[in-house]
Structure 1
Amino acid sequence: MNPVNLRPKQRSKSRIRVGTWFYTIKRYIEWITDGKKYAKQKTEELLPYLIAEHQTILFRKLKGVEMSLQRNKITNLQTAVPRVKKIIIHPGETFSYWQLIGKPTYNKGYTDGMVLYYGKFKTGVGGGLCQLSNLIYWMTLHSPLTVIERHRHSYDVFPDSNRTQPFGSGATCAYNYLDLQIKNETNIPYQIHLQLTGTHLVGEWRASEPALYTYEVYEKRHEITPAYWGGYLRHNEIYRRKFNRQKQLICDEFVTENHAVMMYEPLLESKGNIIL
């Protein structure tokens, strides 16, 4: 990790607009020319075997964030989930989060939710859909499917209150250049199933055959270090253990590493992790 590369950069609004336009067009071209076979088939009948499941709470108390934005987030999730749920990923196919959902617009029923923006938050149409991409990514780490594109958050905006997963175990998204793509490199089809309850976003990966392996995802080398320009940097590495049906360890593999600029003072109970 090179701290110089992590120092926040000040960019003008015009440069941000041009960059967004460039990478959006680049993605449209890639979808046509990259040679990938993208998953599109949907079937109402669920595949019989549960491979991985997870759920995340819909309402969280976040400092400085109005609850109306979280209600709007639920509206956005209710609009996006039907585009993704029950999609089949056949062997060799790639799941593209944004190709399935499409561009969030008011005309499609999306509303203004919370959007993380250079270490802060603002309102934006479709805000809150990162909860869906986070859930899909976390479930995928507990399956044989292969993540071929995932983007991490560059800023750690909110403290770890009630965190149940390792730092950096989500996937940020921004239409359409920050995509989440998952490839089925197995020889059986997989299916994603999603639903919203009154309190949670619930997801499953299902398959046509029972699971051969189970997975345990964990972190190593979690560090919070002072940044030379002020503030703190956060770092960790994500690994997963793979077990066979007899609960024997098959492998312990590296998944990814995360670096983020902290936008708050480290919690008192985290001081032991700070390297001075």
Structure 2
Amino acid sequence: MNTIKLKPKKRSQLRLLLGKTFYTTRRWIEWYTDSKKYAVIKDKELLPYTINAHKTPLLRKLKDVDMWYQYNKITNLKIAVERINGIVLQPGETFSYWRLIGKPSKQKGYVDGMVLYYGSFKPGVGGGLCQLSNLIYWITLHTPLTVTERHRHSYDVFPDSNRKQPFGSGATCSYNYMDLQITNHTNQPYQLHLKVTDQHLEGEWLSVEAPLYTYEIYEKEHKISHEYWGAYIRHNLIFRRVINRQKQVIDNEYITENHALMMYEPFLEQGKSGT
């Protein structure tokens, strides 16, 4: 990895606007001209077997972040969850996060939440939806489904606080060019079940048969490098072990690599590792 590519580049507002317009338009063209079959059917009746489930807390105290961002995030998550809860991913189909949710807007009920922006954060309509894409990505890694598009976070904005998942095990999202896409290359349907409770965002993949395998996600080669241009960059590799019903490890698969520019002092004392 050429870490000089992670050095922040100063671009004008016009350049940023033109770039976003280009990539957004390209995505729209792709959605309606490529050969993928996108999942669109939802079913209120749930499939019988849970393949993997996970939940993440709705409220976290983050340094220098007002709690109203967190409360508004909950409003945004409820709207987005309603758009994709119950979606059935048939064999050969692809799940597209943004194609199903659509563009967040005030007209749809979305409110200002926290949007990560070039190593910091700012208010933005629909802010906080990365928690949902992170959750979906994480539970998908514990299934036979194939992640066909995922974008890593370029900045590590907040220190770990009770982290239980490896660094870099989420998926950032930005309408619509930073999408999360998942393809079903198996021979059975999978259904995404999501809900927002009083305290958690909960999600699970369901299917028609009990899972043959379980998956253990872990990191390797976690390190922090100090670049000559002054910044610290955090790196790791994500792998997963595939375990059969006899508790035997039958495969050890590479998933992805992560490189993120750290926006806090890297050697602060931290709590346990987590979500």
- Scaled by the length of structure 2, what TM-score is found? 0.97
2:127 is equivalent to residue 127 of structure 1: yes
2:263 is equivalent to residue 268 of structure 1: no
2:65 is equivalent to residue 62 of structure 1: no
Output the CA distance in 2 between the equivalents of 1:66 and 1:242: 41
1:229-244 pair list within 5 angstroms: 229-244=229-244
Return the offset for 1:125.
0.3
List, as ranges, runs of 4+ consecutive aligned residues in structure 1 with deviation greater than 6 Å. Answer: none
Output the CA distance in 1 between the equivalents of 2:21 and 2:70: 28
Output the CA distance in 2 between the equivalents of 1:199 and 1:59: 7
Deviations 1:162-192 (A, max 9, x none): 1111000000000000000000000000000
Residue 51 of structure 1 corresponds to 51
What fraction of aligned residue pairs are identical, expressed as a percent? 67
Output the CA distance in 2 between the equivalents of 1:136 and 1:196: 14
Q: Which runs of 5+ in 2 are unaligned?
A: 271-275
Q: Which amino acid aligns with 1:71?
A: Y
Residue 106 of structure 1 corresponds to 106
Residue 219 of structure 1 corresponds to 219
Output the CA distance in 2 between the equivalents of 1:267 and 1:122: 26
2:178 match: secondary structure = coil
Residue 96 of structure 2 corresponds to 96
Return the offset for 1:6.
1.3
Output the CA distance in 2 between the equivalents of 1:34 and 1:163: 38
Deviations 1:72-123 (A, max 9, x none): 0000001110101110000000000000000000000000000000101000
Return the offset for 1:269.
4.2
1:268 match: secondary structure = coil
Output the CA distance in 1 between the equivalents of 2:129 and 2:262: 22
Deviations 1:124-146 (A, max 9, x none): 00000000000000000000000
Does structure 2 retain, via aligned residues, the 8 Å contact 1:159–1:267? Answer: no
Output the CA distance in 2 between the equivalents of 1:227 and 1:162: 27
Residue 189 of structure 1 corresponds to 189
Residue 177 of structure 1 corresponds to 177
Does structure 2 retain, via aligned residues, the 8 Å contact 1:231–1:262? Answer: yes
Q: Which amino acid aligns with 1:163?
A: R
Q: Which runs of 5+ in 1 are unaligned?
A: 271-276
Return the offset for 1:2.
1.0
Residue 273 of structure 1 corresponds to none
- Scaled by the length of structure 1, what TM-score is found? 0.97
Output the CA distance in 1 between the equivalents of 2:204 and 2:4: 40
Output the CA distance in 1 between the equivalents of 2:148 and 2:232: 30
Output the CA distance in 2 between the equivalents of 1:140 and 1:215: 10
- Aligned-residue CA RMSD (Å): 0.8
Output the CA distance in 1 between the equivalents of 2:227 and 2:198: 41
Output the CA distance in 2 between the equivalents of 1:269 and 1:56: 23
Residue 8 of structure 2 corresponds to 8
